[in-house]
């Protein structure tokens, strides 16, 4: 069970956070104003480093991959606050009614790319740990704020944290993805795969001489569209999902029969569904004649794109489902922190999307929870946003939590 924080401690945390409302919210707006798409986080990482250095962190540096980390303390127990500071792109610029980086503030909400997903947790984590140190709440802990790349490949940054640099295995992890200020404790996993069909090129005027690779994929696409009811289900994580997310063709010209076509699949896996099973389910959708001919194949995707530092960490694009038990001490501490800070009572929850928890808990089995301001439904949209009061209020949670473990 978690400890019971004194009211004096809670009151002092809240008083100090309230006094820092302006610098915390300004820091947040400045992080959002720095573009950090496609893993290009050096500039925003430097801004984050500047803030941590000004707050007296014991160590601030970039790792080999190019993630930024700040450390406070050197105790035997290790807690990592994970905040990804890269974002997706802005897609169609004309769809934005305001500058996506400078954003706009309306009714106390900042609308900007990355405001909700996920730069909203970074200010509270950075200021929260410094405040916890100042109040003597970090005895026995080594604490990290880990500002990392996540959008292109969930979990690759924490994988390097544990296995490459700094080679530290945390005892606890708090993931700052948006949770609407609730404690989350899991989400479905994901398998990314492709289905490639081979055909034969010919001039479109003589298409009977060719073998159209796109047409070969049509029955597979239709079967994927209809297969979701057959997928697994779990009382907590929910039902499996499958989506054809992209299609590409190789063709000699717009007047030719395509000789190769590829569809890409996002398969969300729940408990009870394995990576191999998910791939085999799609493989079974290939018509028998194509299986015999071997002209349609299914493969899992692979990630080996260099980071902006040139660092490469090749991994399969498989991200396990995970959930931390509701009775775990970390979950209980998170719930106790919310109660102590006066947040409305709420059951623990889960994300619909995927986070770095796919590595922390899914692969490494390191106890992890989520807590962050914002709502994931605005992620990757032109309404990417966060309430300024919640961004500041989250600082209280991040400051108090270690004292409850």
Backbone dihedral angles phi then psi of residue 260, each to the nearest 5 degrees:
-155, 140
pLDDT given for residue 6 in this prediction:
87
Is residue 150 annotated as a catalytic residue, yes or no?
A: yes
- How does DSSP classify residue 332? H
CATH code 3.40.630.10 region(s) in the chain: 7-187+321-404
Question: Rounded to whole angstroms, what are the CA distances from 208 to 211, 212, 214, 256, 289?
Answer: 8, 9, 14, 11, 19
Which CATH class, in words, describes the domain spanning 7-187+321-404? Answer: alpha beta
Helix (H, G, I), strand (E, B) or coil at 286: coil
pLDDT tens digits along 225-237? 999 999 999 999 9
pLDDT given for residue 391 in this prediction:
98
- How many Å apart are CA 175 and CA 146, to the nearest integer? 10
What proportion of the chain, given as a percentage, has pLDDT over 70?
99
Q: Which residue out of 63, 86, 118, 177 is catalytically annotated?
A: 86
To the question of pTM greater than 0.75 for the whole model, the response is yes
Helix (H, G, I), strand (E, B) or coil at 43: helix
State the average pLDDT for the chain.
97
1 band by pLDDT with thresholds 50, 70 and 90: very low
Tokens of 148: 């990392």
Protein fold of 189-303:
Alpha-Beta Plaits (3.30.70)
pLDDT tens digits along 314-363? 999 999 999 999 999 999 999 999 999 999 999 999 999 999 999 999 99
- How many Å apart are CA 191 and CA 159, to the nearest integer? 17
pLDDT at 374 over 80: yes
Tokens of 69: 């980390």
CATH code 3.30.70.360 region(s) in the chain: 189-303
- How many Å apart are CA 377 and CA 375, to the nearest integer? 5
- Other CB atoms closer than 10 Å to residue 49's CB: what's the count? 19
The enclosing H or E element of 272 equals: none
Helix (H, G, I), strand (E, B) or coil at 397: helix
Strand blocks (E) in 16-73: 59-62, 68-72
Q: Which residue out of 118, 150, 192, 376 is catalytically annotated?
A: 150
pLDDT at 5 over 90: no
């Amino acid at each position: 069970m978690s400890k019971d924080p004194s009211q004096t401690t809670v009151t002092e945390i809240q008083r100090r956070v309230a006094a820092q409302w302006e610098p915390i919210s300004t820091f947040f707006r400045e992080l959002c104003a720095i573009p950090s798409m496609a893993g290009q986080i050096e500039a925003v990482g430097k801004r984050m480093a500047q803030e941590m250095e000004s707050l007296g962190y014991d160590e601030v540096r970039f790792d080999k991959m190019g993630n930024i980390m700040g450390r406070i303390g050197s105790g035997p127990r290790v807690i990592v606050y994970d905040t990804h500071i890269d974002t997706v792109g802005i897609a169609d610029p004309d769809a934005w009614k305001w500058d996506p980086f400078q954003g706009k503030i309306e009714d106390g909400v900042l609308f900007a790319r990355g405001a909700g997903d996920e730069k909203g947790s970074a200010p509270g984590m950075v200021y929260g740990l410094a405040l916890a140190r100042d109040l003597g709440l970090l005895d026995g802990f080594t604490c990290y704020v880990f500002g990392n790349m996540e959008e292109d490949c969930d979990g690759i940054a924490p994988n390097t944290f544990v296995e490459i640099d700094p080679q530290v295995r945390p005892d606890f992890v708090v993931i700052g993805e948006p949770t609407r200020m609730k404690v989350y404790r899991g989400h479905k996993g994901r398998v990314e795969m492709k289905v490639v069909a081979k055909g034969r090129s010919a001039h479109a005027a003589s298409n009977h001489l060719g073998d159209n690779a796109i047409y070969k994929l049509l029955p597979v696409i239709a079967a994927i569209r209809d297969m979701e009811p057959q997928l697994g289900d779990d009382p907590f994580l929910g039902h499996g999902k499958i989506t054809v997310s992209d299609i590409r063709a190789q063709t000699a010209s717009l007047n030719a029969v395509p000789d190769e076509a590829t569809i890409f699949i996002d398969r969300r896996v729940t408990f009870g569904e394995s990576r191999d099973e998910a791939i085999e389910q799609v493989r079974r959708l290939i018509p028998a004649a194509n299986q015999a001919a071997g002209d349609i194949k299914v493969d899992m995707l692979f990630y080996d794109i260099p980071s902006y530092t040139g660092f490469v960490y090749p991994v399969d694009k498989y991200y396990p489902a995970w959930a931390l038990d509701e009775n775990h001490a970390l979950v209980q501490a998170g719930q106790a922190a919310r109660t102590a800070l006066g947040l409305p009572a709420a059951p623990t929850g889960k994300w619909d999307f995927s986070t770095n928890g796919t590595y922390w808990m899914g692969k490494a089995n390191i106890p992890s929870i989520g807590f962050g301001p914002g709502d994931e439904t605005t992620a990757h949209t032109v309404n990417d946003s966060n309430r300024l009061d919640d961004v500041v209020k989250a600082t209280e949670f991040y400051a108090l939590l270690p004292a409850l473990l």
